[in-house]
Amino acid sequence: MNHYNLLCLGDSYTVGESIPLYRSLPYQTVLQLRKKDFLFSAPEIVAKTGWTTDELDEALKGYRFLNKYDFVSLMIGVNNQYRGHDVIQYKEELEILIKKAIELANGKKDHVILISIPDYSHTPFAASMETAKIAKDIDVFNTVGRALSIQYKIQYLDITSESREGRGDSKMIAEDGLHPSPKAYEKWSEKLTALIAAQLK
């Protein structure tokens, strides 16, 4: 039986800030894949709360990777938006990261999954902010990501709609009032699992 691995690149949404690591998106995804009888090792995570695209890129330069990965997920950009970075700069830096992800996936473009940026505008953390502007900005950033996924022929996973469905549901938000809860990540991981499993059939 084939044995697979998954590399997850990103920020706090990949780390699973404020929740146990085993309830994070990468770990829940691997668990669901195992339940479907796909042999996956524990996910390898290169992510840190607060990272922007350029900070992730810088971290990758000094990281020792395996020779190849069966699947690579990339979820980055919310901190670019939060810090007010220009969307053009985001596009340029995301493009670099996508190329790196394809390289790490041994050139298998359909085994690279770009995950959309969640919308945090409805969270208690953002209650005193310009929530309409946050949501609009995130849509613009995600439009850029979707366009690049088409250009580079990689998979694109939209979880932004799921993040908005949780509006007003405290069970979908972690105790810090900002990040997703394990229940929210479970919904996202179901979609990511389905994308990965489809490539293995």
CATH of 3-200, one of 3.90.228.20, 1.20.1260.10, 3.40.50.1110, 3.90.580.10: 3.40.50.1110
Percent residues over pLDDT 90 in the chain: 92
Q: What is the pLDDT of residue 166?
A: 63
Q: What is the pLDDT along the chain (201 residues), one digit of tens a residue?
A: 799 999 999 999 999 999 999 999 999 999 999 999 999 999 999 999 999 999 999 999 999 999 999 999 999 999 999 999 999 999 999 999 999 999 999 999 999 999 999 999 999 999 999 999 999 999 999 999 999 999 999 999 999 998 887 666 788 999 998 999 999 999 999 999 999 999 998
Q: What is the pLDDT of residue 93?
A: 98
Q: What is the pLDDT of residue 181?
A: 94
Angle ∠(38,39,43) on CA atoms, nearest 5: 110
**Domain definitions of the chain by residue range:** 3-200
* Chain CA centroid to CA 55, Å: 15
* CB-based burial label for 72 (10 Å; 0-12, 13-18, 19+): buried
* CB-based burial label for 168 (10 Å; 0-12, 13-18, 19+): exposed
Q: What is the pLDDT of residue 125?
A: 93
